[in-house]
Amino acid sequence: MVEKEHFKWYHKAYSQDRILFENPWSKVFNEEKVLARYNYSKQENDEEIGYFGNTNPAFETDIIVPNKVAYLKIHVMDGGRVEEDGKEIRKFYEEIKDYEKLIIDIRGNSGGSDHYWQANVISPLAKEPISVSNYLLVRGDYGNPFYRSRGIKLKPISHLDQDILKKMPEEVERNFQRYWKVTKTIKPKDPIDFRGKIYLLVDYRVYSSSESFAAFCKDSGFATLVGETTGGDGIGIDPLFFSLPNSGIVIRFSSMMALNGDFTINEEVKTTPHVKVSAVPSKDYRYDKAIQYVLNEN
């Protein structure tokens, strides 16, 4: 359910770019009963609105071991701060480009915008284009206008290569009618030429776009994941929305069943780290087991 304090953000996000968000999302948020339910006037759309209610940087940095181990903590994938934060993050990368290890900590990060991690982590640190492919399964028809608006062309399950189908969970063929194979490619942009090892710290609160980041890092080999299994549900497109007929309350839901790179169901098994250790964070790095693993790993 979309809470009242988040409605303004959703309305602005799905109404400001008519080309990218061609009607299905915007239509839901502009229904008269919905606007009445949330006591919202379209004139309010001109206000500066942040989903996270925060004008501070979404990240912080530290040097754990001088000249050897650097640390980047990303609290939220704040889509409103991509460029602003990106300038400072890039300065940090320049300072630590010759370090042996970079720890990127997204523990407790429940998501936001994929653009944040793509622009501020992958693009500056990648040495060459990085691609990851995923299969997403669909059933039902409600999502059709949403998919069309994004240029997504679904294919019948029967068109899947049999060797690929055999790798998928058995319920795919039994319970789903269509699929979409999506390949996400992120290209370097003014790369820093960081040659050290990259570690990504994760926990059960990593969700949505943060989960998308974790899954991308694991499937591509961009980083070594350390910590606990994530919260899942980060592969695919934006959630879909519909309004309840009488109350006008807006409901959001994931419309696709996404498969990880190993063909397991993302929402079921989430993303499992390469190295499982306690992911409980500590301000004192000596007592943070995930960070200690990285420090002691050769």
Shared domain for 36 and 58, answered yes or no, is no
Distance from CA of residue 58 to its chain's centroid?
15
The predicted structure's pLDDT at residue 158: 96
Domain at 282, CATH number: 3.90.226.10
* 243 membership: H or E segment, kind and range: strand 240-243
Shared domain for 279 and 199, answered yes or no, is yes
Residue numbers of the chain with a pLDDT score lower than 70: 16-22, 43-55
For 163-175, the pLDDT digits (tens) are 999 999 999 999 9
The predicted structure's pLDDT at residue 201: 99
The predicted structure's pLDDT at residue 206: 98
Q: What angle do CA 64, 65, 67 make, to 5 degrees?
A: 125
Residue 109 to residue 292: CA distance in whole angstroms: 20
What residue numbers bound the domain in which 177 lies?
A: 50-296
The predicted structure's pLDDT at residue 21: 46
The predicted structure's pLDDT at residue 48: 52
The predicted structure's pLDDT at residue 298: 85
Distances (CA, A) of 277 to 38, 247, 267, 272, 293: 43, 45, 21, 11, 8
Shared domain for 105 and 165, answered yes or no, is yes
The predicted structure's pLDDT at residue 13: 82
The predicted structure's pLDDT at residue 15: 80
Contact 225, 214 (CB under 8 A): yes
Contact 243, 25 (CB under 8 A): no
Residue 250 to residue 29: CA distance in whole angstroms: 8
How many beta carbons lie within 10 A of that of residue 149, not counting itself? Answer: 17
Shared domain for 56 and 111, answered yes or no, is yes
Shared domain for 103 and 206, answered yes or no, is yes
Shared domain for 111 and 14, answered yes or no, is no
Shared domain for 126 and 176, answered yes or no, is yes
Shared domain for 123 and 182, answered yes or no, is yes
Q: Which two tokens stand for residue 62?
A: 């530290």
Shared domain for 78 and 120, answered yes or no, is yes
For the chain, the domain total comes to: 2
Q: What angle do CA 151, 81, 148 make, to 5 degrees?
A: 10
